[in-house]
Amino acid sequence: MEIKELINAAIEARENAYAPYSNFQVGAAVEGESGDIYIGCNVESASYGLTVCAERVAIWKGISRGEKRFKQIAVVVDTEELTPPCGVCRQIIWEFCGDVPVILSNLHGNTETIMMSELLPRAFDSKFLK
């Protein structure tokens, strides 16, 4: 799949973000091993701890449709500086995607691709639970 297609899906998802408190709208798109794209946007709550990030929404949507693993993920924000996933999302991305390309993009057309292992070195996963 072309990176641009994944970024465009994340841009579209971002338009549905519910961010009345932070005004920080995020869109994400993840490509499943099947080749299907799953999108997500951030959804805020007045009880901030209940807020859910776009990356997790996209991954959970894929899982709810039967996808078990993912190939790559794109995250789009409207900032000058490209914004990486938060720590919680990094953990979820690692668990369900592994060491995949994470494509960071903004609405100005800037992009950067970074491997998940660079964002979350020495990640915790199920191998430590055995």
Q: Which residues are catalytic, by number?
A: 55
HEC sequence for the chain: CCHHHHHHHHHHHHCCCECCCCCCCEEEEEEECCCCEEEEECECCCCHHHCECHHHHHHHHHHHCCCCCEEEEEEEECCCCCCCCCHHHHHHHHHHHCCCEEEEEECCCCEEEEEHHHHCCCCCCHHHHC
